[in-house]
A = this chain, B = another copy of it.
Amino acid sequence: MEGSQSQSQNNTSAGKGKLYIIGIGPGSVPQMTIAARDVLMNSDYIVGNGTYLDQITELIDKQEIIRSAMGKEVDRAVKAVQLAKDKIVSMISGGDANIYGMAGLVLEVAEHEGLDVDIEVLPGVTAITAAASVLGAPIVNDFAVISLSDLLTPWEVIEKRLHAAASADFVISLYNPKSRQRKSNFSQAIDIIKKYKNGSVPVGLVKNALRTADQDYVVTTLDEVMNYNDWVDMSTTILIANNESRIWKSNNRERIITPRGYQRKYDY
């Protein structure tokens, strides 16, 4: 149709090389997509930081590895784009490649470098839905995702988004709740959300969702969540449910259920 483009038209531009930007999922190979695994195993180069490379060691055989420290994202992206002129290069991102992932930066660098490189983004399971799976069914309705990191977004913008999301009773997922420099962002965010949502609203805190050995989580409420303040760290995913949500206790396990609708369509 007019204005639309099929994917097959777009894979003809490159030379021999190709750059994949790959979301590797929550951090264990079984939770990666089959496509992501296959591309990684057939890459000439895999580029990523140590944390994510450590999550895919079982897939590494003959590929050359370019390991980069946090904070060197631009250098890494430039290197990946240049190599992809004539090599198969996979740049890895935790979770999904879009959601606070590498896709944006890599496309910005490719645009800036003006290189004729074929780029394909492969999605992955994001930390949000990995955490939601551990908690049961907390986000079956409309939701908003907000990073509390004010390194790249001014705190006033973050506050505005917290007010907006809480006032319209979105399920809210908070990323990057804490860092060494910003210990109070999490408590400030909870204070804002409590202005709008009931204190009984379920809250789930999840660390290392679906990473086999390290997963841990808490189910609590908005009124009680600050009791776990010391437990929350930079890598914790926070899910604050909506005013219709409830906690279901079964088999010594607590889970969060958010109903799909306000009026129940179903009788049973």
Contact = CB atoms under 8 A, between A and B. Distances in A.
A144 B170 contact: yes
Given A126-B126, A161-B168, A164-B165, A3 B228 contact: yes
A62 interface: no
Contact of A33 (B25, B169, B218, B253): B25
B152 A260 contact: yes
**Interface majority SS on A: helix, strand, loop or mixed?**
mixed
A121 interface: yes
A107 B255 contact: yes
A1 to B, nearest CB: 6
A187 to B, nearest CB: 18
Contacts of A98: 129, 132-133, 137-140
Interface string A1-42: 101111101100110000000010110011111110110000
Interface stretch (A48-56, A178-186, A209-217): A209-217
A263 B209 CA distance: 31
A6 B116 CA distance: 48
A7 B141 CA distance: 25
Interface in A206-258: 210, 215-220, 227-228, 231, 248, 250-255, 257-258
Contact of A121 (B26, B116, B136, B169): B136
Contact of A145 (B31, B107, B143): B143
Interface of A: 1, 3-7, 9-10, 13-14, 23, 25-26, 29-35, 37-38, 73-74, 78, 96-101, 103-112, 116, 118, 121-126, 129-130, 132-134, 136-147, 151-154, 157-158, 160-161, 163-165, 167-170, 210, 215-220, 227-228, 231, 248, 250-255, 257-263, 265-266, 268
Across the A-B interface, give the 8 residue pairs with the lowest CB-CB distance, nearest first.
Answer: A152-B261, A104-B140, A13-B251, A164-B168, A103-B137, A30-B35, A121-B133, A104-B137
